[in-house]
Chains A and B, each alone.
Chain A
Amino acid sequence: MDERIKRLLYLAEFDYKKDKKLIKENANVLFESKQTEQQAAAILKLLDERTLTDLINKFKTVDLSKNQVLLPLMAKSYLEVGNRGLNELLILFKSVSELINANKITTPQITDAGYVVNNKTFRNYLGFAEYVHGLEGMSKGHAEWKGKINTDVDEPPIFPDESKGDRTDTGIEIYDGNDVGKCIKYSTGGLTGKHYNFCIGQPANTMWQSYRDSQVSTFYYLIDKSRELDNPLHIVVIDMTSQGVQLTDANNATVGPFAPHGSIAEFGTDVGAYMEYIRKRGVPIDRLINSEKTPDEEAEQSKLGSGNDDLGWFKKLSYEEKSKYVGRGHLLSDEQFNYLWDFKNDKGGYHLLHQYVDTGQAIPEAQFNVLVSD
C-alpha cells in the first residue's frame, strides 16, 4: 500500500464527514498494519502462500497492539518454535500485546543480540517467553491479590474500628498478628519505626509457628500512643493462648500461663490488672479471642514454613504464596532474587522486593550488589 491508496482511503472516509484527525489515524493504522504484515510475510517467505496466509491470519487475531506491530516478531519467533510451538506462541503474544496496551512493557524488538524488551535482552524465544510469563504472573497476581488485600495501604487495626463504633481517642491501637509475616513486619518497624526482639517477629523465625502448635497462640500487637517509645508498655504483644492471656512488653519481658515466673513493666505478674487497665482505656477486650488452628494454616506452614532455594519451586508459587514466603523473612537464593529483580518496575515485582528489603536483615552480598548497582 502506498500514499495513493492512503489518500483514497482518506477521501473515502472524508465523504462520510468524519473527524479529519480520526480519518487520518485510521488510514495510518491501516497503512502501518499492512506494513507489519508485509514484514512478517517477508520473514516467512519460504512458506507456501496458503500456509503463509493462514499463519498471518492467526497472528493477526492475537496481536491486539496498535498497528499490529508484533506481526514481524511473531514471524521470527515462529521460525524458532515451528508448528509444535505455535499455540504457545499465539498465547504468549496475546499476553505481550495486552501488556503493551497496559503500558507494562515496551514494544519488543528483535536485534542481532536477540529479543529486546524493557531494556532486557533475551538470546532466544524461550528466555523471552519466560520473562513475559513471569511479568504477566506478577502483574495479574498482584492485581488479583490487591482485590483481597490492599497492598498499597497497611492493614487497618482491629481496634479502633469505626464501623463498630469504637472510640478513636483512646491512644491505643491493636493489630492482629494472625500471620507470621504480619508479626515480622510489626516487629521490624512496621508499626512504630522501632525494631523489637520479639522472637515471633524475627525474619525467618520458626517460633511463631511453634507457639501456634504448642499453645494455640493467637497474637495481637497493642500500641499505646500515650506512652513514649522508651516506655516498655508503648507496645505489648498480647497472646490469647489456649490457657489464658500472656503478655510481652517492648523489653521482651513475658508473663502469663506459659511464663508464670516472668514479669512485665509496671504490672509485674498481674496480667489481669493490665487487661483491666486497657479495658478501662476503652479497649473491647472480648474482641481479643483465641483462634484454633485451621487446615489452611497447616497447609501453608508445610509449604512455606522452611526456606527453599529452588527457582523452579519459587516460580510455581502463586503470587500470594510468593508474598507470604517473602513475608516470612526467608532469604531468597540469588536466582530467586534475580528473578524478582527483573520485575522491579512492575507493581507486583516491586511489592515483593519491597517486602524482602523491609525486614531489617542483611541480604547476601551478591544480591546487595544487584540492589545498589547503577
Chain B
Amino acid sequence: MDKSQKQLVDTYFRKRGIANVQNTSYEFEAYEILYLINNKIPFDFSSLKAGTIADILVKQPSLVNKLDLSKISYEESNSFDTTYKINYILKYQPQLIDYIDISGFDGYHIADLLIIQPLLIDKVDLSILNDENITDILKEQPKLINRLDLSILDDKHISEILKEQPQLAPYFK
C-alpha cells in the first residue's frame, strides 16, 4: 500500500467509524468487519445487527464463536426475518446448524430450509411436517423422497408433486 492509498483507507475507516457510532443506518458491512478482524484492528462485535452477523458467517464461518448468535435466534415476532437469515447462513454453511437454534421452526420453516439445503435432513424434526410441507419439499428436492412420510399425501398433493417431478410416479403407485 502506498502513501496515498494508506491515507484513503485511514480516512475511510475514520469516517465510517464516526458514522457508525452516530447513525444506525451507517452500520458496518460484513466485508468491512472481516477486513478489520483479519488486520487485527479492534472492533466491538456486540454492536452488530443480525443481518451483518449472517453475512459474516456466510463469508467466514470460523468466526462463529465470536458472534452473538442470540441475535439470530428464532422468535414468533421476528419469524420471517430470522428464518430468512438462518436459511441464508445454512444454505452456504450447513455445518453451522450445530450453533444455530432452530427449535422454534415450524413445518413451513423446515420445508424452506430443506428446499435450499437438503443436506440438513438429519438435523431437523421431520415429524412436524404436514402434507403441504412435504409437497413443497418434493417439488424442489425429489431426492428426499425416501426420507419423507408419503402416506399423509392425498391425490391432490401427489398430482401437484408429479406435475413438477413426473419421474417420482413409481413411488405413488
A contacts, CB < 8 Å to B: 188-189, 193-197, 344-345, 350, 353-354, 357-363, 365, 368-369, 371-372, 374
B52: shortest Cβ distance to chain A, in Å? Answer: 11
Measured in the bound complex, the distance between the Cα atoms of B87 and A213 in whole Å is 46
Is the pair A359, B15 in contact by a Cβ cutoff of 8 Å? Answer: yes
Q: Are B19 and A371 in contact (CB under 8 A)?
A: no
- Find chain A residues with CB under 8 A from B1 CB: 374
What residues of A have a CB within 8 angstroms of the CB of B2 in the complex?
345
Which residues in B have their C-beta under 8 angstroms from that of A350?
A: 4, 8
* Total residues of chain B contacting the partner, CB 8 A: 23
| Bound CA span A189–B16, Å | 10
Query: How far, in whole Å, are A365 and B33 apart by their CA atoms in the complex?
Result: 12
9-residue interface stretch from B22-30, B89-97, B123-131, B136-144:
B22-30
Across chains A and B, which 5 residue pairs bring their CB atoms closest together, nearest first?
A360-B19, A357-B12, A195-B22, A360-B15, A195-B19
Contact of B4 (CB < 8 Å), options: A196, A345, A372: A345
Docked Cα-Cα span, A188 to B9, in Å, equals: 17
- Shortest CB-to-CB span from A329 to chain B, Å, is 12
What residues of chain A lie closer than 8 Å to B31, measured between beta carbons? 365, 368-369
CA distance A371 to B13 in the complex (A): 11
The answer to whether B22 touches A371, judged by C-beta atoms less than 8 angstroms apart, is no
**B65 on interface, CB distance cutoff 8 Å:** no
Pick from B18, B29, B32, B35: contact of A360, CB below 8 A. Answer: B18
Q: How far is the CA of A207 from the CA of B21 in the complex (A)?
A: 23
Q: Give the shortest distance, in Å, between A210 (CB) and chain B (any CB).
A: 19
With a cutoff of 8 Å between Cβ atoms, the chain A residues found around residue B11 in the complex are: 354, 357-358
State whether A353 and B16 are in contact (beta carbons under 8 Å apart), knowing that A195-B26, A197-B23 are contacts in the complex.
Answer: no
Task: Write the nearest CB–CB distance from B14 to chain A, whole angstroms.
Answer: 8
User: Quick one: given A188-B15, A368-B31, are A362 and B26 in contact (CB under 8 Å)?
Assistant: yes
B7 CB–A CB distance under 8 Å:
yes
